[in-house]
Structure 1
């Protein structure tokens, strides 16, 4: 029997992820707080059924996916007065694919378990390209049994799927991932700047450096966007700023120094403040604007 699933949150990532689930034969009931977003249409055209409430999405399904913005959004969607906890059947498996940090994931998991609901955290990496192509990296925290049950569904959305440990572990790995992504962007921007200072075509940085030890997803996918001043978001600055906030909140408990993370955070926030605050909607590759402003 084909599993019936709900997908809550049809943003830049979620719309394509819900569509991929439907294309793989799952019966998907999808919901978004804002019904007129273009990604809602993406999910619908992929085969998902769009519903107008969380209740309609989750009341009869076996698995619920959520993919929203920040900790308060996840808490509202899963635990709020009109949230999943009010309508899901006992033993429903809830899989949150947002990025909220390990502490929040553990807290939410405990509250759901008290309501006889199962929970896994499963944040993703790969941007809108990975969401569209079904090639996301998915970092999972939860039990072995729940992971075995949901892995075929995760495989409809991702290519590299790893159980990282107990609840919260997926988020823990994602925080480390976001440090790497942020510092890759610093390196990419500075390499482009140095190329221009030497009169070297920045395209060579993508084509030549991308074949050696300096090769990375960021260089291959975002290098040309920087060259072409294309700042359309695959992953928006407002989201990476949120993620780096979570990283630094976790790090506060240890007292360790993360100077690279602090630098990336400052550069992203510089761009975030541009265009009367609308810089936050641009992709992370727009970090280059902070360097151009300083020239």
Structure 2
């Protein structure tokens, strides 16, 4: 792999550990975050990455620019806004966006970037903060196949299951399906743990036994123990899953035929509004609070 200068924009719960993984593979990387006083940024610097104060400093010498942000407006601001990527990136450089912005948003951004001779790939990820730290993320990629082959060695550093899904927007399309599964897995997980309590069964037994059978899932293995321990720290915030479900509903015309999506959205919103709306900042496992259960 040619060690091109790379940039990483967005050092949040996911972006920071991904940047650390790149740096620990001795890749020359400049990183930028909108908020520079986050305590975990010290770990990014310690890994060997260079944290800079502006997008310009990060991207002007980079051939590959990774972004990991929140919603469509965030991605658009970082790319097209005042001082954004388009004003400083080299022609023919490539932006790889790890954010979840929906297929429509990805296609619109890619089309606009063409006029600036900058390539774009949507590469949303799944696996939470655990996957980001361990470099085992699932990455769903949309864009030109040749561009995918170019960035694949870099994706191999932060991901384990990397799939080329098709043209721009295809990675986002698959990610939206993933988020429907993740949302409804959480509903099933909460109700199974609640049922265990109702029957005076230790909920840890549900994790131990059901994880080995047909009902096993990533959520059951990784998030059920957090629910049992009342650990609601976010690996993936409720505000982000609600954003993703909003994107899902934007591409569905007959939403009444998707009762599960509506139920998951209702339960997440119920928790989000708790504690003066601070529920938005808790992990998705906090859905259990909608059931009034404590473990």
Q: Do they fold alike, i.e. is TM over 0.5?
A: yes
Counterpart of 1:16?
17
Please state if 1:74 is matched with 2:75: yes
The total of aligned residue pairs comes to: 293
TM-score, normalised via structure 1 length: 0.97
Q: Deviations over 1:37-88 (max 9, x none)?
A: 1332232122110000000000011100000000000000011121101100
1:158 is matched with: 159
Query: 4+ runs of 1 displaced by more than 4 Å?
Result: none
C-alpha contact 1:137 1:159 (8 A) present in aligned 2: yes
Runs (5+) with no aligned partner, structure 1: none
Q: Distance in 2 between matches of 1:78 and 1:110?
A: 13
Partner of 1:261: 261
2:171 corresponding residue in structure 1: 170
Aligned-pair Cα RMSD in Å: 1.2
Contact 2:242 2:268 in 1 (8 A): yes
Residue 273 (structure 2) pairs with residue 273 (structure 1)? yes
Q: Secondary structure at the match of 1:203?
A: helix
Stretch deviating more after TM superposition (58-67 or 1-10):
1-10
Relative to structure 1, is the Cα distance of residues 255 and 222 closer, same or farther in structure 2, using a 3 angstrom cutoff? Answer: closer
Give the TM-score taking structure 2 as reference length. 0.97
* Structure 2 gaps, min length 5: none
Other structure's SS at 1:170 match: helix
Match of 1:221 in 2: 222
CA distance in structure 1 between the partners assigned to 2:105 and 2:153 by the alignment:
26
Q: 2: CA distance between counterparts of 1:36 and 1:68?
A: 17
Partner residue of 1:101?
102
Taking the aligned partners of 1:219 and 1:41, their CA distance within structure 2 comes to 32
Shift of 1:258: 1.1
Given that residues 249 and 255 in structure 2 are in contact (C-alpha distance below 8 angstroms), is that contact kept between their aligned partners in structure 1?
Answer: no
Q: Secondary structure at the match of 1:156?
A: helix
